[in-house]
Amino acid sequence: MTTHTVNRRDFIRVTAAAGGGLVLGFNWLSACSPSSRQAKAAVHDLNAFVKIDTDGLVTIMAPNPEIGQGVKTALPMIVAEELDVDWKKISIVQAGLDTGKYSRQVAGGSGAVRSSWAPFREAGATGRQMLVNAAAAEWQVDPAACSTEAGKVWHKESGKSTGYGDLVEKAAALPVPKNVALKDPSAFRIIGKRMPNYDNKAIVTGSIKYGIDTRRKGMLYAAIIHPPAFGQKLQHFDDSEAKKQPGVQQVVSFDNNIAVLARSTWEAMQGAKAIKADWSDDSKLESTGDYADNFRKILDRPSQEKPRRKDGNIRQAFAGAARVIEAEYAAPFLPHNTMEPMNFFADVREDGVELYGPVQTPEKAQSDVSKLLGIPKEKIKVGMPRTGGGFGRRLKSDFVTEAAMISKLAKAPVNLIWRREDDMGGGDYRPMGLYRYRAALDQEGRLIAWHHHSVGVTGNPSRQDSFPAGAVPHLQVDALEYKSPVTTGPWRAPNHNFIAFSEESFLDDIAHQVKKDPVTFRLELLEQAKQHPVGKVDYDPDRYAGVIRKVTEMAGWGQPRPGVYQGFAAHFSFSTHVAEIVELIRAGDKLKISKVYCAVDCGTVVNLSGAETEVEGGIIDGIGHALYGELTLTRGRPDQTNYDHYRLIRMREAPEVEVQFIRNNEKPTGLGEPGLPPAGAALANAIFAATGKRLRSQPFIKSGFFG
């Protein structure tokens, strides 16, 4: 029922949207679109993002994986704005991986809106201009005398108007305009408004399909057994009992893994429980207690300096300091705990491979499977459903290659579903680490030198350019790596998620010790960075100070209320400035977080509703993990494997949050992550205000201050 003529010129790459190459192919929408169910109207691709059918239905493609960050709604809003269509009448379709049509089909680094802002606007505006040109040609008027509104082209002088649907076929035949004009922000009708998540109705009725819901003819469900401890190897296994379990069809093994395939998920999981496996000796494997000791030994070795940033000369500055303040901060491992556990559908056939499922990096998944199976990328199709959370875990594609390998060995389409225990024990954690800080102060209590010396499990655990870098004449950041079989990786706001806590707690500590208001202390440093910048300065001191002033107004900072304790923190990440104030009250003999205030400068806000919920959620996520998050290991084996022993923040602990955005017309900056990092620090600083005690290791629940 669908004839899909692919004309290689029928798209524009997002990176070269204005550059043209935009020629229209006569395509029919694929079977999943509402219009093709009516199967009457011809659909034309105006470009890679815009399809309009002859009935006027506008479809906007969403090329990035939607993991809850709201891009499936926000990115089409950008296109729709410039195209000038009625938001209520468009439909949005998730695109699969298509490296020819799209670039950066990634969910990560808070980068989708940042990188798509200009090209998506151009894509919308180019499409709009083509429709205008088609109308102008028909009416024999100057295109410049035409305007557009809500899916129609108007010619005010003659009072003529035509809908996009009637123009699209003609527009297709016209040359692609270059350097089209973009709207002035004052004319925005969609950008900056509150638009509900496009998939809401499907989510609240249960009709939306996640990867875990994939069902195909002949598909088997697969459960997997990984080594129980990091560093363990599979020696031998016995699957005779597993194969007797009802519903179990096959057992396959590869690398150090065993997979059980069955006709249902639970039967596969039961089959996996019935496998008897022998693993290599674990007596030499490390426990988290050993890591803490080893970290300290590494940091104590004087020869272990490895500067990531060096401004001035800290050695001299510390030698001549009037006062030196030191502190040490400890970060635990954190699993990502996406609510939808890792899963993937794979169908490896002779003629090609179909991959479908939740992944933040579909292109990497494609190339990893290509390498693993020796099948060219062109033969590997990757589709992306709506995804039940990412938080960085799905930047890796280990679960995709597993699914592909299982499908290949079993010669069947499979849906691999990790049990929660596999997921929590599945590694790629936020690295455990130890962060040491030293600050040198002069006679007047000014910060003259800063030394950050840290070690973390695998990879650089620090961020060398974050504040107060740029504001301190002598600064050095040494970040060391500790190799371990425990796999680590990005976790929402990588490194920032802990660095913001350690830096902003330490700054608060210094301010109190030199008897300065912590906010004033930071504002003075920012003024220093503005007047006398040292080395590279990533942040904008004025915008940084802007969010700080805003949040202090919101929270009434400096106007004490009895029984209310406030803590302040600010952090710059993913090009966004954020300041937060956490408010604590006493509840019996415990503390309770009563409110969090937050000011954000992320440039232009695309979807106000989506932006607000991202920041609110990020703050509660940051507080939840600072309070409760910790994964420990005993001889390489995770001690927490499910939510009975691993505590995540719940409704009753979630504080009230108030978020305000600085209004400006700057380019949009990152938003999925920046709300999270300051939250833990603002909380720790509030705890200090309430108790006089500095908490320097997470999770804070161990302090006994919270219930």
Partner 1 sequence: MGKYRLSRKRKKFDLFRAESINFKNPLFKAIIMAVFNLTINRKNYKVDVDPQMPLLWVIRDFAGLTGTKYGCGIAQCGACTVHYGEDAVRSCSLPVSSVGDKAITTIEGLSEKGDHPLQLAWDETDVPQCGYCQAGQIMNAAALLKKNPHPSDEDIDEAMSGNICRCCTYKRIRKAIKRAAEKAGGRS
Q: With binding defined as CB under 8 A, does residue 1 bind partner 1? A: no
Cβ-based nearer residue to partner 1, 232 or 641: 641
**Contact status, residue 323 vs residue 351, Cβ threshold 8 Å:** no
Q: With binding defined as CB under 8 A, does residue 563 bind partner 1? A: no
Q: With binding defined as CB under 8 A, does residue 213 bind partner 1? A: yes
Site for partner 1, residues 589 to 608, rule: CB under 8 A: 590
CB of 264 vs partner 1, minimal distance in Å: 4
Site for partner 1, residues 572 to 591, rule: CB under 8 A: 590
Determine the interface stretch with partner 1 among 5-13, 265-273, 292-300, 370-378 (rule: CB under 8 A): 265-273
Helix (H, G, I), strand (E, B) or coil at 576: strand
Query: Residue 224: CB partners within 8 Å, gap ≥ 6?
Result: 257, 258, 259, 260, 272, 402, 406, 416, 418, 422
CB of 373 vs partner 1, minimal distance in Å: 28
Cβ-based nearer residue to partner 1, 336 or 452: 336
Q: With binding defined as CB under 8 A, does residue 205 bind partner 1? A: yes
**Contact status, residue 585 vs residue 563, Cβ threshold 8 Å:** yes
Q: With binding defined as CB under 8 A, does residue 38 bind partner 1? A: no
Q: With binding defined as CB under 8 A, does residue 240 bind partner 1? A: no
Q: What is the dihedral of CA 296, 301, 307, 311, to 10 degrees?
A: 100
CB of 690 vs partner 1, minimal distance in Å: 17
Site for partner 1, residues 385 to 404, rule: CB under 8 A: 386-391
Cβ-based nearer residue to partner 1, 213 or 398: 213
Q: Pick the closest to residue 93 from 43, 143, 142, 22 (CA basis).
A: 43
Q: With binding defined as CB under 8 A, does residue 276 bind partner 1? A: no
Whole-angstrom distance, CA of residue 290 vs CA of residue 295: 9
Q: With binding defined as CB under 8 A, does residue 303 bind partner 1? A: no
CB of 602 vs partner 1, minimal distance in Å: 17
**Contact status, residue 534 vs residue 526, Cβ threshold 8 Å:** no
Structure tokens at 392: 């960085």
Find the binder of partner 1 among 649, 686, 687, 690 (CB under 8 A): 649
Q: At what angle do helices 71-83 and 112-139 cross, to 10 degrees?
A: 30
What Å distances lie between residue 222 and 52, 129, 215, 242, 276, CA to CA?
A: 41, 50, 13, 13, 17
Q: With binding defined as CB under 8 A, does residue 644 bind partner 1? A: yes
∠ CA 559-593-70, nearest 5°, is 105
Q: With binding defined as CB under 8 A, does residue 648 bind partner 1? A: yes
C-alpha of 345 from chain center = 22
Structure tokens at 361: 């990096």
CB of 273 vs partner 1, minimal distance in Å: 6
Whole-angstrom distance, CA of residue 662 vs CA of residue 683: 23
Q: With binding defined as CB under 8 A, does residue 266 bind partner 1? A: yes
Cβ-based nearer residue to partner 1, 530 or 592: 592
Structure tokens at 250: 């096959």
Site for partner 1, residues 347 to 386, rule: CB under 8 A: 386
∠ CA 622-624-629, nearest 5°, is 100
Q: With binding defined as CB under 8 A, does residue 207 bind partner 1? A: yes
Determine the interface stretch with partner 1 among 211-219, 370-378, 401-409, 460-468 (rule: CB under 8 A): 211-219
Cβ-based nearer residue to partner 1, 385 or 518: 385
Site for partner 1, residues 418 to 437, rule: CB under 8 A: 419-420
What Å distances lie between residue 551 and 568, 598, 600, CA to CA?
A: 9, 6, 9
Structure tokens at 422: 């596999």
Q: With binding defined as CB under 8 A, does residue 208 bind partner 1? A: yes
The residues that bridge with 391 in the sheet, in sequence order, are: none
Site for partner 1, residues 54 to 113, rule: CB under 8 A: 67-70
CB of 218 vs partner 1, minimal distance in Å: 14
Tally of residues, the chain = 707
What Å distances lie between residue 627 and 96, 505, 596, 678, CA to CA?
A: 38, 15, 15, 14
What Å distances lie between residue 6 and 23, 120, 169, 323, CA to CA?
A: 11, 22, 17, 70
Place of tokens 């270059």: 178
**Contact status, residue 50 vs residue 129, Cβ threshold 8 Å:** no
Cβ-based nearer residue to partner 1, 31 or 203: 203
Structure tokens at 348: 């490896």
First to last CA, the chain: 60
CB of 314 vs partner 1, minimal distance in Å: 39
Find the binder of partner 1 among 173, 203, 322, 587 (CB under 8 A): 203
Find the binder of partner 1 among 34, 246, 352, 533 (CB under 8 A): 246
Determine the interface stretch with partner 1 among 32-40, 80-88, 376-384, 645-653 (rule: CB under 8 A): 645-653
Find the binder of partner 1 among 196, 320, 352, 533 (CB under 8 A): 196
Cβ-based nearer residue to partner 1, 388 or 485: 388
Q: With binding defined as CB under 8 A, does residue 630 bind partner 1? A: no
The residues that bridge with 50 in the sheet, in sequence order, are: 60
Site for partner 1, residues 311 to 350, rule: CB under 8 A: 337-341
Q: Pick the closest to residue 17 from 113, 114, 125, 158 (CA basis).
A: 125
From the CA atom positions of the chain, what is the Rg in Å? 28
CB of 199 vs partner 1, minimal distance in Å: 7
Q: How many residues bind partner 1 (CB under 8 A)?
A: 75
Whole-angstrom distance, CA of residue 451 vs CA of residue 439: 6
Cβ-based nearer residue to partner 1, 390 or 636: 390
Cβ-based nearer residue to partner 1, 211 or 473: 211
C-alpha of 453 from chain center = 27
Cβ-based nearer residue to partner 1, 77 or 369: 77
CB of 705 vs partner 1, minimal distance in Å: 9
Helix (H, G, I), strand (E, B) or coil at 109: coil
**Contact status, residue 574 vs residue 109, Cβ threshold 8 Å:** yes
Find the binder of partner 1 among 19, 231, 485, 617 (CB under 8 A): 617
Cβ-based nearer residue to partner 1, 459 or 617: 617
Cβ-based nearer residue to partner 1, 265 or 367: 265
CB of 337 vs partner 1, minimal distance in Å: 6
Determine the interface stretch with partner 1 among 153-161, 266-274, 319-327, 463-471 (rule: CB under 8 A): 266-274
What does residue 49 show for φ and ψ, rounded to 5 degrees? -110, -20
CB of 46 vs partner 1, minimal distance in Å: 29
Cβ-based nearer residue to partner 1, 458 or 609: 609
Q: With binding defined as CB under 8 A, does residue 639 bind partner 1? A: no
